[in-house]
Amino acid sequence: MNIKNEESKVIAAFVAVCIIWGSTYLAIRIGVSAFPPELFAGIRFLIAGALLLLYSRIKGLEFPANLTSVRDQSIVGLFLLFGGNGLVVWAEQWVRSGIASLLLATIPLFMAVIELLLPGRPRIDFKGWLGLLIGFSGVAMLVLSDSGEGSVDIKGAMLLLTAAALWATGSVYSKSFKPTGSMFVNIGIQMLAGGTALTTLGILMGELPRVSFSIKGIGALLYLIFIGSLVGYSSYIYILQKWPAAKAGTYAYVNPLVAVLLGTLVLGEPFSLTVVISTAVILTGVLLVQLSKTKSSAKTNNNLKGDPSM
């Protein structure tokens, strides 16, 4: 019964991530139209991280046992938030929210590639390699389309694909060590690390004079702090603790559908045939990779049973 209850919690967290993070692309797009991007992202995570650590202190939750644990969690935060989210926020100054989410759907593909380079990790078979080829072909189709509707320039695509690679790297790295302390404390540390780096970058880039406050910008910021970060990010880290990184990354199947729909309904972003076909091709590739990893990793998972990092 306890196992079933635990799995139900993981599935609920997974559904929350699918929906919430699909909507955050819209919130980011709205936010960067009223606030300088890196400070916008930095303030978001500084506030969210501070709130989590304050909550943890009040509740008496366990903090990391040593500086090595703090370092490990900080590295995860730098990969996921400073690198991954920071590039997404920067690119969404001109890239449509739906397109951004579609390119970030390649995260499971990058996870598969990274895990291929690591010893003792699941290996993909022919179906997996075919999935990688199809998935990245869908990206090429989207980027190289000159239809004007739903296409994305090379600069934006490279930024977002780099963001996907950094997010995948951080996700895989988070599975490589045994965490100490409460999950909420560790998430707070990750957010503070990423938020500090983003805020510092924003200041160095001269964004402070551009800061202005508007209902639109503040609303987007509050949504991202409380829903996107505290609920969504916490749910994602919880999933990573219970599922393999590649399986956790399958939220990327749903995010583009939510983001494209919201972008079209709220911001009037074009919903073109290019987007439809590219979405189908990319997600087909991701699905093939996941099916391949599921079958080829069964023996590996059994051998690693009991390993807390998996």
> Are the C-beta atoms of 100 and 161 separated by less than 8 Å?
no
User: Could you tell me which of 89, 103, 105 has the C-alpha nearest to residue 142?
Assistant: 103
Cα(64)–Cα(179) distance, integer angstroms: 8
SS3 150: coil
* Phi, psi for residue 153 in degrees, rounded to 5: -75, 165
| 267 and 29 Cβ atoms separated by less than 8 Å | yes
Q: CA-to-CA distance for 251 and 26, rounded, in angstroms?
A: 17
The encoded tokens of residue 291 equal 């099916």
Q: CA 206: distance to chain centroid?
A: 27
What is the length of the chain?
310
In order along its 310 residues, the chain shows pLDDT tens digits of 466 778 888 888 988 998 898 899 999 999 999 899 999 999 999 999 999 999 999 999 999 989 999 999 999 999 999 999 999 999 999 998 888 988 888 888 898 888 888 776 666 778 888 888 898 888 888 777 755 444 578 889 999 999 999 999 998 899 888 899 998 899 999 999 999 999 999 999 999 998 888 899 999 999 999 998 888 877 887 888 888 766 776 776 788 888 888 888 898 887 778 788 888 888 888 888 877 755 544 443 333 222 212 2
Q: CA–CA separation, 197 vs 31, rounded Å? A: 19
Question: Which of 68, 46, 86, 97 has the alpha carbon at shortest distance from 256?
Answer: 97
What pLDDT score was predicted for residue 146?
53
